Amino acid sequence: MRIIYSSLAIITLSFLAFACKKGPGLKIESLNKAGEEFYFGEKVPVWASTSGDNNGTTYEWKATGGTFDGFRTQDLFENLWIAPSTAGEYTITATAKSSGGTSSKSTSMKVTRYFFDEFQSAYTLNGNGWSTSNTTNNLVTNVDTALSQLNLTSSSTSGPNVRRNLDLAELKIPFSVRTRLGWRTFFRASSTIVISMFFNQPSNPTYPYIREIRWEIWPTNNPATTNNFQIRYETFVPATNTSKFSTVGNVFPNPLPLISPVTGRSPIFSLANGELKNFSFSIDANEVFHAYVGGTEWFTSNGIKDWLAAARAAYPGFQDPSPREYRVAFPARQTSSSTGTTLVMKHVYINNDGQILK
């Protein structure tokens, strides 16, 4: 009898020892995301940090808005969330399942505007929507937006630029664009920085449409003696390959002027080495054009509004403007061995909610 009791005691102690060595139950400790605010259509990495018995763990992902990228399998600890095209707060929930049990964790995803970039991400120039031509790039990333920036230096005698397609969600009037930029080290004399918005071509090739809004700035010209700005928009007829720029004296169907003079002089466009300034333009819900420099209103104009009204009356089924690309161009090298101009970009914001960016 004593032998049986001893055997039972050994079995019991062994069971208790095994139970003590078994790891804790499965638990998602945190649900992580790449950022705190997101723009329409942004692809955001999300991932779960899990502890405990996670042998053979599978994951299930759900969201109250947006979608998950199709090429990512749903049973991994990481996923790629695609933000919806409406501002708001959305919830992502990950559920982990294994022999150690089940655990869920949620996080809030705040979608704030059509688009913004403060150049904090190391992926800015790597599949994140931006493209460059004829530049060498130095991206300074930092969680502090005061320290993050994109530096682009012209690398050839062909025109350098940085651009972004606006195809993550449709953009219509009203819209507003603000760019904070400057230059450093060297700026090629008598040359321009050009901020452009390009528009989609409508289906009817015989109708004129607004193809580009173009704002040219000569930041180192002396405004006391030399022109240092030009701002205008271009209309284009695909069927006849006819291009017209807005200027004083134009009458419809030519594009009506935004400002008089179209080209002129103002000290507000001067930029010293290392100085940064906001340049903003908007078309509001009433189709009035607004331009701001350094946070101060420069002018407003009915030029685009009146041209669109005349186009709708003249052309049945005329389609409203739809931006397709944002671009900033800057000086090329004078020769292949010349010093290259360096453009500094601190942020780009694009709104479509009626708010005018200054």
**13-51: buried (b, 16+ CB within 10 Å) or exposed (e) per residue?**
eeeeeeeeeeeeebbbeebebbeeebbbbbbbebbbebe
pLDDT score, position 129: 84
- Tens place of pLDDT for every residue, the chain, 358 residues? 333 334 434 434 343 333 333 346 899 999 999 889 999 999 899 999 999 876 789 999 999 999 998 755 567 899 999 999 999 999 999 999 988 789 999 999 999 999 999 999 888 888 678 999 999 999 999 989 999 999 999 999 999 999 999 998 999 999 999 999 999 999 999 999 999 999 999 999 999 999 999 999 999 999 999 999 999 999 999 999 999 999 999 999 999 999 999 999 999 999 999 999 999 999 999 999 999 999 999 999 999 999 999 999 999 999 999 999 999 999 999 999 999 999 999 999 999 999 999 9
pLDDT at 24: 62
Residue 214 is predicted with a pLDDT of 98
- Give me Rg for the CA atoms of the chain: 28
Kindly report the pTM of this predicted structure.
0.88
Alpha carbons 88 and 106: distance in angstroms, whole number: 16
* Strands of the 58-63 sheet, one edge to the other: 37-39, 101-113, 88-98, 58-63
**DSSP character string of 120-141:** --TTTTSSSSEEEESEEEEEE-
pLDDT recorded at residue 23: 44
Tokens (6 digits) for 314: 């003249």
Domains of the chain, earliest start first: 27-113 (2.60.40.10), 115-351 (2.60.120.200)
Say what the pLDDT of residue 157 is: 98
Q: What is the DSSP letter of 158?
A: S
CB 212 within 8 A of CB 198: yes
Do the beta carbons of residue 176 and residue 197 sit within 8 Å? no
- What span, in angstroms and rounded, lies between the C-alpha atoms of 10 and 30? 41
Q: How far apart are CA 128 and CA 196, in angstroms?
A: 20
